[in-house]
Structure 1
Amino acid sequence: MHPAVLPLALCALVVIAGRLGASFEISLEPEVLVVEHGGSIQLKVKTTCQDPKAFGNVETSIRKQLLLAQPTEVVVKLLEVNVWNSSIIYYFNCRGKRKLFTTALIVYRSLNRVTLDPVRELEVGKSHELVCRMENVAPIRNLTVILWKGGEKLHTKTFQQYSQDEPMPVQVIHRLTAQRQDNGQTVTCQAVLDLTPYGPCFNVTSEPQTLTVYEFPEDPKLEPHIYLEMGKTVNATCTVRHVFPSVAQFELALDDRILPHSVSRDGHRATAEVSLSHSGNFSLVCTVKVGPKERWKEAIVHSYELPSPQLAISNPNTSCNQVVTINCSSAPSWPPGLKLRLRSSRWPLRSWVEGAVHLELMAREEDDGAEFTCEAQLSVGNRTLRRSSATTTLHVTYQPQMDDGSCPPSQNWTEGQDETLRCGARGNPPPLLECTKDGEPFPAGVLRPVTRAHAGTYLCQATNPLGTTVRSITVWVQYHDPDLVLLVLLPVVVAVALLAGGVGYGVYYRKKKIRQYRLQERQKQLEMQALRQPGCSEATAALNGSAQKA
């Protein structure tokens, strides 16, 4: 049963019980009286009494109007009900007997407006109050309040335990722990004043409030120390992490001067250019706002001046064996801790020293082209800064020089091959080299075919503004005459070959004739012996086989 119906039902039971205990019955319509404050209500009292002299009425402090009075029915209209706690007495007299009943008059006020307090921006993970308000609610025991987030029911509150009849203000509070997914959700407050079935039902909802959720768990990140050379520009970057929504509002100020800045595409980083025209330490503050929450971070900008070192060479264009002075220094107002170093392309690297570097050297031929640089070093915080002067080249002049390596005094050429006269001279300025043979120019370094006429003595002279050097070169040409050799050797070879062939053939022919002669003489001797001795044939046969025994 609905809570609002319970007291009305009890009143009805009292009426019924009264009827059962009497010889006649009376009834009230409506059984439960529900009227708006300031309004009117019509009620009817009936009886089962059949006495034509029976009469009944309604007793109340409320102004009333009797609309019908009959022995069995009385109709009364209560006018301008303006009391909150009132009871109605109704009765009938029948044959000298009276039956009287009392019922409560339920007075309500229309529920026209429900207000949800403006919801401020909510921080993720924190608990926040949602407050729903109503003014002059009556009867409050029939009220139900529901807080909604989108389609999710957050909280329901009933007031059945309240007994007040007078109107009273209502405030319902619910604590919401914000989450990121709540961002953009709408919250509303719904109030239901239900007087059914004997009265109206009011269902009113507040204007929706959109939740804005943010998260800003940690301070911005900013390099605590920024080192800036006067007149230069450096980028200062301020970053945030784990913020929601992702776009944060940045402000960077250098000694209360707002700096223009750019924000990264993801909204988590701001960068500003910092420049200063004077030295010192300055405060750079990065302020970040996410939702209503603001955090800041401070850095110290160290502005310094690192002057360019100065290199001075007393005579960068000097002569050999002359003294040259080299100074490496800085501006008169150099900062404390500045160190200098002189760097040379011809020497091992030297160590840093505080104060100026002074050097004197005796210029030598090998010092020509040496490069010198003055370097400055300054330690600022945990950084080491360096700057260098322009490089200066030392030029050493000296007269022409030629030696066995550059101009060999003796050179061997071969006739028929391509050769060149090898001779070079060094000096500063570079010398002019001229070579001659027998008073005729013969340029060195030119490749040409050699003949035996190139043999002889050459004179080379190197000249520059500082002097002249002369060197003599002897050239030997190796050659031979191939025609004379052939003419002399070829007939000798042919004659020797013919002579050797003739001698060999004569010896061979003589030996052959001697063998033939001896064979013929032997054969003659054998024939003569065969004619002189009988049985010669048998003896002869024994020469090639076994002789017969005698």
Structure 2
Amino acid sequence: METLLFGVWALLALIPCPGATDELFEVSVWPDQALVKFGDSLMVNCSTTCPDPGPSGIETFLKKTQVGKGPQWKEFLLEDVTENSVLQCFFSCAGIQKDTSLDITMYQPPEQVILELQPAWVAVDEVFTVKCHVPSVAPLENLALTLLQGNQELHKKNFTSLAVASQRAEVTISVKAQRENDRCNFSCHAELDLSSHGGELFHSSSAIRVLRSFEFSQHPQVWVSPLLEVGIAETVSCEVARVFPAKEVAFRLFLGDQELSPFLSWEEDTAWANATVRAMETGDQELSCLISLGPMEQKTREPVHVYSFPPPILEIEELYPLAGTDVNVTCTGHVLTSPSPTLWLQGAPDLPAPGEPAWLLLTTREEDDGRNFSCEASLEVQGQRLIKTTTIQLHVLCEYKPDPSGQKSEC
């Protein structure tokens, strides 16, 4: 009986207790922390302490290739890592399976940082936006974006929460423009800190964007005579006040289709342009002034009337007649004057009919030598009476007659 009991106890000693094998082997994976750059590969080694392992391997949705193995280990190449994942490494030993996991973190440095200013030109006291975004970066929770004006920090955003799966790597702020913002440099700095994953610190900056602020609320004013004479040079000007920056205002002046060449000036918040105009065609025309500053343009028009009114033509039949000679003095309107002017000839007995010349028949005398004759033409243009005058001098010659006394001569 004792012999039988001893045999039963011996058999029970050969049967492992439940859980004993489970405690006898371990499963491990190398590396124990995986940080992989977007698109790169990762080598993973799965091993066990089981002396005679059974089925084993890894479970992952990544593309895997077994590249090596031994009695207690297997090595795999994971290719084209493009997102975070969890890999399971498993071994079985004496019918019991154990596994361990590996968290694979994919990272993508902020290689491209884009800063946008909207609008690039903004009116003073209007709002502009500063927007920064990184098209490709991971992991987002390790990213920080900082908006800078010059070297001054405007705003910093940390992406510590991924509660919204569609969260994008961007930050936007709104700022009211002031004159002091004109020509300020704006930039964005991105930092990806992977120290918590055993990695390094990556940083990158955007290109600098320059903001332009301006004031341009007043309408320009044009100064020009309402009447211009063909071929006669006149000065015209265009001015705008309460404009900033005044020295950058651009002017374009036109008379009809003829573009003028302005001379630009500015002082404090006022800018103006002067130009010389010489009209070549008669009729109603328009002087226009186009002012631009950045994206803004304003145009002012002023009507003008161009007329032709050359001086009248004054003719003396003979400029150097002998005393006692009859000469005709005639005054006519110029052929280019339209309509015909009203003429008045000094010394003429009557005013001529409209369109007719004025004339005077004169018997010259010695005292007429050096006498000035004038002809006046008047023309009404757009309700204004214009006057042009032409003068001419008569020279009377004397016929030499010796004095009987021999002392002097007379005409």
- Work out whether 1:188 is the aligned partner of 2:187: yes
* Secondary structure, aligned partner of 1:112: coil
In structure 2, what is the equivalent of residue 288 of structure 1?
Answer: 291
In structure 2, what is the equivalent of residue 39 of structure 1?
Answer: 41
In structure 1, what is the equivalent of residue 232 of structure 2?
Answer: 232
The C-alpha deviation readout for 1:22-66, integer Å capped at 9, x for no partner, is 99999988775433332326689999xxx9899998743253678
**Is this contact kept in 1: 2:181–2:213, CA < 8 A?**
yes
Matches of 1:89 and 1:372, distance apart in 2: 121
- Aligned positions of 1:213-224 closer than 5 A: 213-223=213-223
In structure 2, what is the equivalent of residue 208 of structure 1?
Answer: 208
Instruction: Kindly state the Cα deviation for residue 225 of structure 1 after the two structures are TM-superposed.
Output: 5.3
The C-alpha deviation readout for 1:220-243, integer Å capped at 9, x for no partner, is 321365421223111121223314
* Secondary structure, aligned partner of 2:180: helix
Give the 3 Å change call, closer, same or farther, for CA 240–208 of structure 1 in structure 2. same
Which residue identity does 2:308 align to in structure 1?
A: E
5+ unaligned residues in a row in structure 2: which ranges? 1-21, 322-327, 348-352, 361-367, 397-409
* Secondary structure, aligned partner of 1:207: coil
* Secondary structure, aligned partner of 1:35: strand
Give the 3 Å change call, closer, same or farther, for CA 252–128 of structure 1 in structure 2. same
**Is this contact kept in 1: 2:53–2:91, CA < 8 A?**
yes
The structure in which a higher percent of residues are helix is 1
Give the 3 Å change call, closer, same or farther, for CA 244–45 of structure 1 in structure 2. farther
Matches of 1:67 and 1:163, distance apart in 2: 41
Instruction: Kindly state the Cα deviation for residue 373 of structure 1 after the two structures are TM-superposed.
Output: 5.5
* Secondary structure, aligned partner of 2:216: coil
Please identify, of 147-156 and 215-224, the stretch whose mean Cα deviation from structure 2 is larger: 215-224
**Is this contact kept in 2: 1:56–1:90, CA < 8 A?**
no
- Work out whether 1:112 is the aligned partner of 2:111: yes
In structure 2, what is the equivalent of residue 152 of structure 1?
Answer: 152
Instruction: Kindly state the Cα deviation for residue 332 of structure 1 after the two structures are TM-superposed.
Output: 7.5
Aligned residues: 364
In structure 2, what is the equivalent of residue 7 of structure 1?
Answer: none
In structure 1, what is the equivalent of residue 250 of structure 2?
Answer: 249
**Is this contact kept in 2: 1:39–1:80, CA < 8 A?**
yes
Give the 3 Å change call, closer, same or farther, for CA 212–328 of structure 1 in structure 2. same
Matches of 1:69 and 1:192, distance apart in 2: 45
Which residue identity does 1:39 align to in structure 2?
A: S
In structure 1, what is the equivalent of residue 278 of structure 2?
Answer: 275
**Is this contact kept in 2: 1:137–1:169, CA < 8 A?**
no
Matches of 1:281 and 1:101, distance apart in 2: 94
Matches of 1:109 and 1:164, distance apart in 2: 19
Instruction: Kindly state the Cα deviation for residue 122 of structure 1 after the two structures are TM-superposed.
Output: 0.9
**Is this contact kept in 2: 1:279–1:304, CA < 8 A?**
yes
Which residue identity does 1:257 align to in structure 2?
A: Q
Matches of 2:286 and 2:154, distance apart in 1: 48
Please identify, of 23-32 and 80-89, the stretch whose mean Cα deviation from structure 2 is larger: 23-32
Please identify, of 156-165 and 266-275, the stretch whose mean Cα deviation from structure 2 is larger: 156-165
Matches of 1:116 and 1:88, distance apart in 2: 38
Percent sequence identity over aligned pairs: 26
The C-alpha deviation readout for 1:70-115, integer Å capped at 9, x for no partner, is 8xxx897764362524223467889998775656432222332223
Give the 3 Å change call, closer, same or farther, for CA 333–107 of structure 1 in structure 2. closer
In structure 2, what is the equivalent of residue 178 of structure 1?
Answer: 177
Matches of 1:142 and 1:383, distance apart in 2: 81
* Secondary structure, aligned partner of 1:82: coil
In structure 1, what is the equivalent of residue 387 of structure 2?
Answer: 386
Matches of 1:165 and 1:30, distance apart in 2: 28
In structure 2, what is the equivalent of residue 197 of structure 1?
Answer: 196
Which residue identity does 2:292 align to in structure 1?
A: K
**Is this contact kept in 1: 2:29–2:44, CA < 8 A?**
no
In structure 1, what is the equivalent of residue 301 of structure 2?
Answer: 298
Instruction: Kindly state the Cα deviation for residue 246 of structure 1 after the two structures are TM-superposed.
Output: 1.2
5+ unaligned residues in a row in structure 1: which ranges? 1-21, 318-324, 345-352, 361-367, 396-463, 466-550
Which residue identity does 1:192 align to in structure 2?
A: E
- Aligned positions of 1:95-110 closer than 5 A: 102=101, 104-110=103-109
**Is this contact kept in 2: 1:216–1:244, CA < 8 A?**
no
Instruction: Kindly state the Cα deviation for residue 277 of structure 1 after the two structures are TM-superposed.
Output: 3.8
Which residue identity does 2:154 align to in structure 1?
A: L
Higher RCO, Cα 8 Å, sep 6+: 2
**Is this contact kept in 1: 2:119–2:129, CA < 8 A?**
no
Matches of 2:222 and 2:246, distance apart in 1: 21
Give the 3 Å change call, closer, same or farther, for CA 83–254 of structure 1 in structure 2. closer
Matches of 1:122 and 1:46, distance apart in 2: 66
The C-alpha deviation readout for 1:371-394, integer Å capped at 9, x for no partner, is 98654444544755333343889x
* Secondary structure, aligned partner of 1:211: strand
Please identify, of 36-45 and 217-226, the stretch whose mean Cα deviation from structure 2 is larger: 36-45
- Aligned positions of 1:343-358 closer than 5 A: none
Give the 3 Å change call, closer, same or farther, for CA 32–245 of structure 1 in structure 2. farther
- Aligned positions of 1:403-418 closer than 5 A: none
* Secondary structure, aligned partner of 1:136: coil
The C-alpha deviation readout for 1:5-32, integer Å capped at 9, x for no partner, is xxxxxxxxxxxxxxxxx99999988775
Instruction: Kindly state the Cα deviation for residue 129 of structure 1 after the two structures are TM-superposed.
Output: 4.2
Which residue identity does 2:147 align to in structure 1?
A: L
In structure 2, what is the equivalent of residue 122 of structure 1?
Answer: 121
Which residue identity does 2:41 align to in structure 1?
A: G
Matches of 2:163 and 2:42, distance apart in 1: 23
**Is this contact kept in 2: 1:139–1:165, CA < 8 A?**
no
Q: TM-score, normalised by structure 2?
A: 0.63
- Aligned positions of 1:496-507 closer than 5 A: none
The C-alpha deviation readout for 1:143-182, integer Å capped at 9, x for no partner, is 222221112333434434436889x974544444433322
Matches of 2:383 and 2:245, distance apart in 1: 35
Give the 3 Å change call, closer, same or farther, for CA 80–183 of structure 1 in structure 2. same
Which residue identity does 2:221 align to in structure 1?
A: K
* Secondary structure, aligned partner of 1:390: strand
Matches of 2:203 and 2:253, distance apart in 1: 52
**Is this contact kept in 1: 2:230–2:282, CA < 8 A?**
yes
Q: CA RMSD in A?
A: 5.6
Matches of 1:100 and 1:88, distance apart in 2: 10
**Is this contact kept in 2: 1:225–1:300, CA < 8 A?**
no
**Is this contact kept in 2: 1:216–1:243, CA < 8 A?**
yes
Give the 3 Å change call, closer, same or farther, for CA 339–155 of structure 1 in structure 2. farther
Give the 3 Å change call, closer, same or farther, for CA 155–238 of structure 1 in structure 2. same
Which residue identity does 2:256 align to in structure 1?
A: D
**Is this contact kept in 2: 1:327–1:359, CA < 8 A?**
yes
Which residue identity does 2:188 align to in structure 1?
A: C
